A = this chain, B = another copy of it.
Amino acid sequence: MILGPGDDAAILEAPDGRVVVSTDLLIEGRHFRRDWSSGYDIGRKAAAQNLSDIVAMGADPTAIVVGLGLPGEASAEWLDALTDGFRDECALVGATVAGGDIARSDIVVIGVTALGDLGGRTPVTRSGARPGDVVAVAGRLGYAAAGLALLSAERGTTEVPDFAEEFVAAHRRPEPPYACGPEAAGLGATAMLDVSDGLLQDLGHVATASGVRIVLDPAALPVPEAMARLAAELDADPLTWVLTGGEDHALAATFPRDVSLPPSWRVVGQVSDAEGEAKAEVSGRAETSGGWDHFRE
């Protein structure tokens, strides 16, 4: 950082000569609740969500800038915790909080913009997947969705059983696999994105942008035992969390079939010709009112 907060604008190094930029707006009551997450966790999550978009291009995050809308009753301690969360999440990837703006608002509003540097790498977009590629995922799927389902089941935060704590923690504070983004770019990934709307929907974006069909292998998407147990307790379908949960900020990418993938990336499907309908689907399964069932033939 060449010039930090306190002037009209911040100034950052952009050694690559290109700058990667992404922005998101988080609204209280829709993206977070102050009674379900601490200020610190909200700061961590808001930063993570945007830093993840930067690594999903294959870039290294350099900084975030933050626009905050704060109600009068938000305490200085809460604001400090929030900004500590921004700072600590940025520190995980060597980025800094370069600036911000605070306005009065009736509810908490957090606008985060993240910047990144490509370090000479070719950016990995959504449109480069080719028939014959493999589809791989880095990071967790369905954890945050499981945690949110538990918190939403009218039980609040007081009755989280021990075995389910990791899911609530995942909802409060995602752990994007930051290093895997630049790693994938270096490995020659043909397409990549941050899983923010759910694996199936986001791979649908890759399929549409690339003009291909993506077929996921459900056997490659195992449901962890604790997640299955929680789903049973909540009468929910755990595969729905895995396939449609977005807030873990996993990365999904396509790679040429001959690329030797490191253990951080696990193959979950294949890319084939669109055959007239570019989309992502799950092999042998369809979504029903009760979850993702085997086709009944």
Contact = CB atoms under 8 A, between A and B. Distances in A.
B23 A113 contact: yes
A9 B21 contact: yes
A263 interface: no
B57 A27 contact: no
Interface string A28-61: 0011000000000000000000000110110100
A90 to B, nearest CB: 14
Contact of A23 (B14, B101, B104, B193): B101
Most buried by B among A10, A67, A106: A67
A129 interface: no
A19 to B, nearest CB: 4
A69 to B, nearest CB: 5
Given A21-B115, A24-B101, A26-B103, A8 B65 contact: no
Contacts of A104: 27, 30
Given A23-B65, A109-B27, A113-B113, A7 B125 contact: yes
Interface residues of A, number: 60
A222 B100 CA distance: 34
A9 B66 CA distance: 16
A18 B8 CA distance: 16
A185 interface: no
A63 B21 contact: yes
28 contacts: A8-B22, A8-B54, A8-B56, A9-B20, A9-B21, A9-B22, A9-B53, A10-B21, A11-B118, A14-B16, A14-B18, A17-B17, A19-B19, A19-B115, A21-B63, A23-B100, A23-B111, A24-B67, A25-B69, A25-B102, A25-B103, A25-B105, A25-B109, A30-B103, A30-B104, A67-B113, A105-B109, A111-B113
Given A9-B56, A11-B21, A15-B17, 18 more contacts: A6-B209, A7-B193, A9-B22, A9-B116, A10-B20, A10-B21, A12-B21, A19-B115, A21-B113, A23-B67, A23-B99, A23-B101, A24-B101, A25-B67, A27-B103, A27-B105, A27-B109, A109-B111
Q: Which 6 A-B pairs have the closest CB atoms?
A: A111-B111, A25-B67, A9-B22, A14-B14, A113-B113, A8-B56
